[in-house]
Structure 1
Amino acid sequence: MILRCLALIAALAATSAQAGCGDAPEPCSIAGGTYHITLPDTARPDGPAVVFLHGWGGTGADMLRMTAMVAAIRGRGHALILPDGLPRDRGRGQSWAFHPDRPGPRDEAAFLRAVADDAATRFGLNRDRMLLAGFSIGGSMTSYVACNDPQAFAAYAPVAGAFWRPHPTGCAAPVQLFHTHGWTDRTVPLEGRQLGSGFAQGDVFASLEIWREALRCRSPDPDRSSADGPFWLRHWDRCAPGSSLHLALHGGGHSVPKGWADMALDWFSTLN
């Protein structure tokens, strides 16, 4: 038991050591903010990467606690880039100024592009092979970047976060998007909910309709439906050139579900 605990502590320490800027323990700093990066043990020559956005009250470094996700991404030869949101006005942690009706002091889309550009230059990554993903409010931030700045990243994979009310009236296209959500999510329900701050979460299915219209998908019903382990999948493939829409539901709640990283990267690999 003692040996097992020591092994776990060592593994966590090794992961935490990656929560900086390459060999430096502090985060990478650019104009407007900071980000963390963990590189694969064996770098791929094309240098793909996942840029993953934390949720409300979190930080980029917090995402390294999701050891299974981190290991899956690094194990497939992808760098994992973890930007830091803005400090919250009240309380601990950080968040994202994601809602178009409530802009913050930083242009978040421009900041995320700058993070990707800096990481590509600093660590030899392929800027054209970066997937933007995020959890909860990070997922909403991902959705809004995809909607308003679709060329910023190669593809988008929001998890447990979509548009908020009022829903966008339309989005630019084309875009490749894979949305994942928990069937029993009560923090961000599929139908959305009203919050005390006056914010109202959007309806995921309404978001999908917005995407189908923006991507000019031929039919409201999916071209393919399937089940893969814990995921129930729906795919809209017959959309505008260079675009597609995918939905994965799972039986859990507000989380990045087990197996998400491999599923998302399997999909992302088909786009390149």
Structure 2
Amino acid sequence: PISTLLPAQPRVHSAGGDGEPSTASTADERGFVLAAANAGIALDRGFAWNIPGVPTIAGTIPTAADPDDVAFVGQAIEFLAARGCIDPRRVYATGLSGGGRMTSWLGCVASDRFAAIAPVVGLRAGNPLASDPSQPDPATCRPSRPVPVMAFAGEADTTNPVAGGGAGYWQYSMLAGMTRWAALDGCRAGPAARALGPVRWEYRWSGCRQGAEVIAHMVSGGGHSWVADNDSLWAFFARHRR
């Protein structure tokens, strides 16, 4: 029966990394399936995700010959659901760095599969706009439904800077990305800020369509690393079903 199925959290790795998860202990404690997937584009060390039109960390644009990672993740979800391992209404995505960008991309193009997404130091809302890379390109992120989003970032991140700039795959600021997601989700207010501790701040948009949430957690002094609070991450996921 559906009530016995567990929620699933595909965890997509950073560019150049592998699928070794940072949330395994939380999965054990909270009772959800953690599916740690590997990307399809081989690099000298590790793998990169295929996000069409966006250069990998090696500076190359994915081609039609490269593996379709969105299709791969979708097939993995179908495989687990068909075997009664997961509840397809409670599938969530998270990932670090390039995995965060891939998580964002899944929200853009596969919102019919995911109940919520949570990028870590990698929040995007589509590709950088060609005519103005400081803004996301609306044509490249058109989810079919409101997508709950919780993003985590470190203020001292120099790889994917919160203020924008950086490599060609990055460019626009985290605020520009969050603002775009708030618009996509029809949020009517925000961001409202509150301190969660001496080094962690939350920014929340509210009044979003169909119960969606758009939340950012910023860590003062945090760098390009797993700055997510796993308990807050899981509590966010647990509030949402597709």
Fold match, TM over 0.5?
A: yes
Can you give the 5+ residue segments of structure 2 that lack an aligned partner in the other structure? 55-60, 130-135
Structure with higher Rg: it is 1
Matched pairs, number = 218
1:62-95 CA-to-partner distances (Å, cap 9, x unmatched) read: 33xx3xx31112211011101110242x411011
2 CA distance for matches of 1:107 and 1:165? 21
Q: Could you tell me how far 1:199 is from its partner in structure 2?
A: 4.1
1:27-86 CA-to-partner distances (Å, cap 9, x unmatched) read: xxxxxxxxxxxxxxxxx93311211000011111x33xx3xx311122110111011102
Residue 213 of structure 1 aligns to a residue in which SS?
Answer: helix
Partner of 1:225: 193
2 CA distance for matches of 1:71 and 1:109? 26
- Tell me: higher relative CO, structure 1 or 2? Use CA pairs within 8 A at least 6 residues apart: 2
2 CA distance for matches of 1:162 and 1:267? 16
The residue identity in structure 1 corresponding to 2:48 is S
Structure 2 contact 6–85 (Cα < 8 Å) conserved:
yes
Name the stretch that deviates more: 50-59 or 105-114: 105-114
Structure 1 contact 86–96 (Cα < 8 Å) conserved:
yes
2 CA distance for matches of 1:56 and 1:70? 20
Q: How does 1:5-84 map to 2 (within 5 A)?
A: 45-60=4-19, 62-63=20-21, 66=22, 69-84=23-38
Q: Could you tell me how far 1:121 is from its partner in structure 2?
A: 2.8
Fraction of identical pairs, as percent: 28
Partner of 1:191: 163
2 CA distance for matches of 1:174 and 1:107? 24
Partner of 1:129: 90
Partner of 1:165: 128
2 CA distance for matches of 1:110 and 1:143? 15
1:211 paired to 2:170: no
Structure 2 contact 160–170 (Cα < 8 Å) conserved:
no
1 CA distance for matches of 2:193 and 2:74? 33
Structure 2 contact 91–114 (Cα < 8 Å) conserved:
yes
1:224-263 CA-to-partner distances (Å, cap 9, x unmatched) read: 4333344311221201124221111112111112x62111
2 CA distance for matches of 1:237 and 1:209? 12
TM-score (norm 2): 0.82
The residue identity in structure 2 corresponding to 1:211 is W
Q: Could you tell me how far 1:128 is from its partner in structure 2?
A: 1.3
1:262 paired to 2:216: no
1:97-120 CA-to-partner distances (Å, cap 9, x unmatched) read: 124454442222221111111122
Name the stretch that deviates more: 159-168 or 209-218: 159-168
2 CA distance for matches of 1:115 and 1:202? 31
More helix by share: 1
Partner of 1:141: 102
2 CA distance for matches of 1:100 and 1:149? 17
1:111 paired to 2:72: yes
2 CA distance for matches of 1:144 and 1:51? 13
